[in-house]
Structure 1
Amino acid sequence: MINKDELKNALKLYLVTDSDILKGRDFYKCIEDAIKAGVTMVQLREKNADGKEFLEKAIKLRQITKKYNVTFVINDRVDIAMIADADGVHVGQSDIDAMSIRKLIGEDKIIGVSARNVEEAKIAKENGADYLGIGAMFSTQTKNDAKEVSFETLRQITEKVNLPFVLIGGITLDNVDKLKQFNPDGYALVSGILAADDIGKRVGEWLNKI
């Protein structure tokens, strides 16, 4: 079974990968720099990678995250998560449901589910999700189809569904203070970390801020 306290600690500063934002910089070095600086969890999400490239990245990132004892999950691809022995999987509303994923990956792996409203969050919990990714909180360039979640909806989700959760979508050092009232277990960031020229320094700024 998943240790809830360990999971909550892992969610604190949650990096979601996106090679495109790195503009040609070394993918593995950038992610490792972020981990060394204090990122607590990494999700491999590469929308433009084919299966072969995605698997290669999964296996290499598994090695890096193990080296620094950082939690590692894979977006969508349950098969690749199993091959790479990732710590878990994160899925959206159009992917395989959490109950079916659990049959494949067993009780000791993490399942995260994206939710935008109370109904989606309730179903995720009923199906055995370990945590929720709630968003987009603000408009975001990295996921063009992401609809924004209002603060009122977020409040309803947190009141009615008792699961650890991270907030995601357009979160910056300038607007994150608006979200602290909801006491999330963490913040999931893409460009908020990877767009920085000095990724390690940016991670340090985030840790000071949150």
Structure 2
Amino acid sequence: MKQIDLSLYAITDENLIKPENLAEAVEQAISGGATVIQYRAKNKNSRQMYQEATVIKKVCDKYGIPLIVNDRVDIAIAVNADGVHVGQEDLDVEVVRRIIGFDRILGLSTKNLEQVKKANSLPVDYIGFGSIFPTTTKENAKVSGIETLKEVIKLSIQPVVAIGGINHKNVIEVLETGCKNVAVVSAIFGSDDIYSATKKLKAVIEKGR
């Protein structure tokens, strides 16, 4: 399985970034210190997703940063992305691994300790866990909280990426649990100055790690 720096995992959001600004937004995030980019689009058709993912892949390749595609294994393969991230209701992890092989990264979302425990025996490279704090970027996101994250860190044999409502003000609480990686959406792409917002968050993470 691939080695990957998951420390600052930036996830795109179609409600925060206009299609024409996608390349610039991703470039600013990478320049500010994002170590992974995930392309996530829930309300676009396959053609639009392919076009947008192709744009992002070019930027990621320019800086040597991995591109992960959310949910869509077909889009990930079509643009030669570095990996796929799936949720509990998506295609089964073992099926995804069979399709993408072991050269690509595979991530899995988890929401509770039972799912984390199960992930220990699955062929994934990392797990996402959350929501850590209240968030507006995912509908019906249940808040798991810091205390549960501490348990996850003890339980998981996979690298853990904390997600949900994380920003430069509360990221230290996350790092203090022993979690070394955070995924953010609004804290980066919801900012008027994506580069500065990413750099600020990166500085706190590096200090806290």
Aligned match of 1:204: 199
The answer for unaligned runs of 5 or more in structure 1 is none
Aligned match of 2:117: 122
User: Letter of the aligned partner of 1:160 in structure 2?
Assistant: L
Listed one character per residue, the Cα deviations across residues 177-209 of structure 1 (whole Å, up to 9, x for unaligned) are 211212223110100001111111111101111
2: CA distance between counterparts of 1:126 and 1:201? 39
CA drift of 1:124 comes to 2.1
* Greater mean alpha carbon deviation, residues 159-168 or residues 132-141: 159-168
Residue correspondence of structure 1 range 46-195 to structure 2 within 5 A: 46-195=41-190
- The SS at the match of 2:106 is strand
2: CA distance between counterparts of 1:25 and 1:190? 18
CA contact (8 A) 2:83 2:104 kept: yes
Aligned equivalent of 2:13, options 10, 18, 21: 18
The answer for unaligned runs of 5 or more in structure 2 is none
1: CA distance between counterparts of 2:177 and 2:93? 25
- The SS at the match of 1:47 is coil
Listed one character per residue, the Cα deviations across residues 143-172 of structure 1 (whole Å, up to 9, x for unaligned) are 012111133322222212211111110111
CA contact (8 A) 1:45 1:75 kept: yes
2: CA distance between counterparts of 1:105 and 1:167? 24
2: CA distance between counterparts of 1:118 and 1:20? 30
Calculate the TM-score normalised by the size of structure 1: 0.93
Q: Superposition RMSD on alpha carbons, in Å? A: 1.4
User: Letter of the aligned partner of 1:106 in structure 2?
Assistant: G
- The SS at the match of 2:69 is strand
- The SS at the match of 1:21 is coil
2: CA distance between counterparts of 1:68 and 1:184? 26
1: CA distance between counterparts of 2:19 and 2:108? 30
Q: How many residue pairs were aligned? A: 205
CA contact (8 A) 1:118 1:161 kept: no
User: Letter of the aligned partner of 1:114 in structure 2?
Assistant: S
CA drift of 1:57 comes to 0.9
Calculate the TM-score normalised by the size of structure 2: 0.93
* Greater mean alpha carbon deviation, residues 17-26 or residues 51-60: 17-26
